[in-house]
A and B are shown apart, each in its own frame.
Chain A
């Protein structure tokens, strides 16, 4: 067991190191408007109230991850889970690779698509396709389909062939005057269950609060709320390599503790209901039409003064900030 954990930890460290070294060479970066790699970490905080012996069972994990934006909306993303406090049991013991995948976003007219391949969270791997089609400023259709298999790393390695097809379809209503969004989805989920869900999201400055109700073919009705809070600093400088806190902190509360109801994997380490599936600079709909959470300033290399500029107005500054770009992670 110790040996397996060491191998797993070494593998994760090697991936991180290789990517870090790779990005350290400027020529290797894809030629896009703002390529670069972000290293970040947040905290995954879980609690449950299912016995009388303790007030709550806690599961607190660090979530170090990276996102390598290679340009043209190609991205490689990865994330590990490092348990700090674990009262949930053996399945959450040890450092785990939570996610490692490559994705591409693009659009065909007003049909926005995102394809992803690799290791997802919820102990799954496979292929995923997300689609989003805004029909007007206040209504859009969405869908997701995946072909996945199991990939469990703790307490033992175990995997299955990708033999499970999951899907969801739904619609989104957005009321810009109230910054309020209604999301209705239905589909077949990871535990071979069918279900539907209605979620109402109220977007505030840097925070989104949602209330949801859902029905599931196995566990029946349930409901709860979610809270997504973006984490400062809200003004950032973008370099080729960036080290920052995670973009958001998300908590999801369920009344009935139906932990296997309507569960879908995530393909991005910072995926959340506030930002949706697509990048802000690609899709301008819903909460992406609000003021951006993060003001990101490009940090470029110094420009050497030419003869012409020397004659007219010498440049003394060693750094210039330009191309203000707003992004939401």
Chain B
């Protein structure tokens, strides 16, 4: 266990200190946000992302991602697009194990697909926060929500507000959100959730993140390399690592620092 802790800590420190380019955060859902908590911010208009995220078993829902009664580490991959400054869309596939052979090799897979949408009706002003509403698994929720056998592992509705405060070139962001998961086994993440972000003046492209998901605390950071490669890593309850990377392009040809 101590060895694992040492590896985790080393990974995070390496991640934070590797390069001076630190970028905007991402969620494992392919749309903007903190780590597990949605935010009122949006990506830039024209941003397209394609990426993958390692998901620790402790971050997974308690149902649906079990093999022989035990949760397992897995990953997801996604594509996302911000067609307008007020709209984000994404499609996510999370890998599931269906069968292993006697040696423990996975021989049958399946995927849980869901689409996410996020709309920002109110942009951040000088005295008021940005406001966004969103939904995961909107397609399934729209057509199959009354069928108990249909998978809705990630289906949730949320509304989030984010306000940024600047001081000495630094930026402190405060996010408060209300979230409702459709399935009872995810109710631990229901209710008021939130987090804070810190964007240092000497790393204007980056953020450090601390958040409360309703059930656990997460610490993390993001990094943008060469304007196109975005990384994110986080620790859940100071123990369990989640990490991901994605390629990011602005289809309008604009260049942003973060």
Segment at the interface with A among B22-30, B33-41, B81-89, B119-127: B81-89
Residue of A53, A54, A178 near B84 (CB, 8 A) is A178
Residues from chain A with a CB closer than 8 A to the CB of B107 are 53
Contact indicator per residue, chain B 105-133, by CB within 8 Å of chain A (1) or not (0): 00111110100000000000000000000
B228 at interface, CB cutoff 8 A? no
Considering the complex, give the chain B residue whose CB is closest to the CB of A220.
B143
A11 at interface by CB-CB < 8 Å: no
The answer to whether B83 touches A202 (Cβ under 8 A) is yes
Q: Which residues of B contact A53 (CB under 8 A)?
A: 107-108
- Secondary structure class of chain B's binding surface, majority of residues: strand
Contact B91 A225 (CB under 8 A): yes
B220 → A minimal CB distance (Å): 28
Chain A contributes a number of interface residues (CB within 8 A of B) equal to 19
Flag if A49 contacts B111 (CB, 8 Å): yes
Q: Are A55 and B109 in contact (CB under 8 A)?
A: yes
On whether the beta carbons of B109 and A52 are closer than 8 Å, the reply is yes
Q: Is the CB of B252 within 8 A of A204?
A: yes
Complex Cα gap A53–B84 (Å): 39
Residues of B within 8 A of A150 (CB): none
B69 CB within 8 Å of chain A: no
Q: In whole angstroms, what is the CA distance A221 to B140 when docked?
A: 12
Asked whether, in the complex, the Cβ of A205 is within 8 Å of the Cβ of B251, the reply is yes
Q: Tell me the A104-143 residues at the B interface (CB within 8 Å).
A: none
Contacts of B81 in A (CB 8 A): 209
> Which of B89, B110, B113, B251 touches A207 (beta carbons < 8 Å)?
B251
- Look across to chain B and name the residue whose beta carbon is closest to the beta carbon of A207: B251
Which chain B residues lie closer than 8 Å to A59 at the CB level? none
Given A52-B98, A202-B83, answer yes or no on A221-B110 (Cβ-Cβ < 8 Å): no
For the complex formed, measure the closest distance between the CB of A112 and the CB atoms of chain B, giving whole angstroms.
28
A204–B139 contact, CB under 8 A? no
Tell me, in angstroms, the Cα distance from A202 to B83 when the chains sit together.
7
> A255 within 8 Å of B by Cβ?
yes
B46 within 8 A of A: yes
Residue-wise interface mask of A (43-67) relative to B, using a CB-CB cutoff of 8 A (1 in contact, 0 not): 0000001001111000000000000
Whole-angstrom CA separation of A255 from B107 in the bound complex: 24
What's the minimum C-beta distance from B107 to chain A, rounded to whole angstroms?
A: 8
Q: Which residues of B contact A83 (CB under 8 A)?
A: none
> Which chain A positions have C-beta within 8 A of B110?
52
Would you give the shortest CB distance from A124 to chain B, in whole angstroms?
31
| A253: Cβ under 8 A from any B Cβ | yes
Most A CB atoms within 10 A — which of B98, B139, B251?
B251
Q: Which residue of B lies closest to A55 (CB)?
A: B109
Partner of B91, one of A202, A204, A207, A253: A253
User: What CA separation (Å) do A4 and B40 show in the bound complex?
Assistant: 62
Those of B143-198 within 8 Å (CB) of chain A: 143
Q: Which residue of B lies closest to A255 (CB)?
A: B139
Docked pose: A211 CA to B80 CA in angstroms? 12
Proximity bits, A191-208, B CB within 8 Å = 1, else 0: 000000000001011110
Min distance, Cβ B184 to any Cβ of chain A, angstroms = 26
B253 is an interface residue with CB less than 8 A from chain A: yes
Asked whether A204 lies within 8 Å of B109 as measured between CB atoms, the reply is: no
The verdict on A223 contacting chain B, using a C-beta distance below 8 Å, is: yes
Are A223 and B84 neighbours in the complex by a CB distance under 8 Å?
no
List of B residues within 8 angstroms of A54 by Cβ: 109
Check A211–B98 contact: CB distance below 8 A.
no
CB distance from B115 to the nearest CB of A (A): 8
Whether B84 pairs with A202 at a CB distance below 8 angstroms is yes
Bound-state Cα–Cα, A163 to B81, Å: 43
Q: How far is the CB of A276 from chain B (nearest CB, A)?
A: 19
Complex CA distance for A197 and B99, rounded to whole angstroms: 39
B91 touches A221 (CB 8 A): no
Are A52 and B108 CB-contacts (below 8 A) given A223-B139, A225-B91, A255-B139? yes
Q: Can you list 6 pairs linking A and B with CB atoms under 8 Å apart? A: A52-B98, A180-B83, A206-B251, A209-B81, A209-B251, A255-B113
The 4 A-B pairs at the shortest CB distance, nearest first, are namely: A204-B251, A202-B83, A52-B108, A207-B251
Given contacts A207-B48, A209-B48, 6 further A-B contacts (CB under 8 A): A52-B98, A209-B251, A223-B139, A225-B89, A253-B91, A255-B139
